[in-house]
Amino acid sequence: MQKQKLAETIQQELIANALLETERLNMLIDNVLLASRLETGEFITKKEKQDLGVFIETLLKRYYKNELANSELKFNLPEGFFAEIDVNAFPSVITNLVDNAFKYSKQKKNIQVDLQTQNGRTLICVSDEGCGISDPDKEKVFSKFYRAGNEETRSTKGTGLGLYIVTYILNQHNAGIKIKDNKPEGSIFEIQFYA
């Protein structure tokens, strides 16, 4: 941008993309720092009552503007589902799951984030139509530094910390997570609040 005289619209687009990538880099750094705090026992949750639909929608609109605009990411987040969450830690749960859904999706991306109830319990579901996760890997992917697949076939980069952090934070929120197969292909990560 400094070397060339660019049109105002192109400048603004480049600035917006740079800011977006900076935010994502910050999220990666936050994940590494958070994993370190989890290891040392320094992480303490401070929960407050939040409307999950409003909270998650605000988060998605902040971090995934382009994906929402391109209809690669869709959501169904009705209001009125309340939970006690740590507003600083819980975003890592959502962003890690959505980032993974994009990372492991094919060229045409179709990511869905839903909020619903089942048997009186609140569920958050993040689904994709990507490569899916094998049954043997379904439990292992939540381990620290574990990455599904093998180095020859894996084309995506990552630290193997995201799902480890997700699991830890959810445990602090009296919630759990499981992986289901999406039909015809892909994965559904289902978060369930126990209370």
Nearest to 59 by CA among 36, 90, 34, 105: 90
Q: In a 10 Å sphere around its CB, with 0-12 CB exposed, 13-18 middle and 19+ buried, how is residue 145 labelled?
A: exposed
**In this predicted structure, what is the pLDDT of residue 157?**
55
Q: Cα-flanking dihedrals φ and ψ of residue 77, to 5°?
A: -125, 80
Say how far apart CA 116 and CA 120 lie, in whole Å.
10
Q: What is the pLDDT of residues 152-190, one digit of tens each?
A: 335 555 667 789 889 988 988 999 999 999 988 999 999
Pair 96, 111: CB distance under 8 Å:
no
Q: Please give the DSSP secondary-structure letter assigned to residue 119.
A: T
Angle at 71 between CA 24 and CA 30, to 5 degrees: 15
Task: Return the domain boundaries, the chain.
Answer: 45-193
The yes/no answer on whether domain 45-193 falls in CATH 3.40.50.11540 is no
Q: Please give the DSSP secondary-structure letter assigned to residue 87.
A: T
User: pTM score, two decimals?
Assistant: 0.78
Quick count: other Cβ atoms within 10 Å of Cβ 98? 23
**In this predicted structure, what is the pLDDT of residue 11?**
83
Say how far apart CA 192 and CA 114 lie, in whole Å.
12
**In this predicted structure, what is the pLDDT of residue 153?**
35
Say how far apart CA 189 and CA 97 lie, in whole Å.
8
**In this predicted structure, what is the pLDDT of residue 55?**
97
Pair 86, 47: CB distance under 8 Å:
yes
Say how far apart CA 178 and CA 33 lie, in whole Å.
25
pLDDT in tens, the chain (195 residues): 677 777 888 888 888 888 877 877 777 777 677 767 777 777 778 899 999 999 999 999 998 998 999 999 999 999 999 999 999 889 989 999 999 999 888 888 999 999 999 888 999 999 999 888 888 888 888 887 766 664 433 555 566 778 988 998 898 899 999 999 998 899 999 999 986
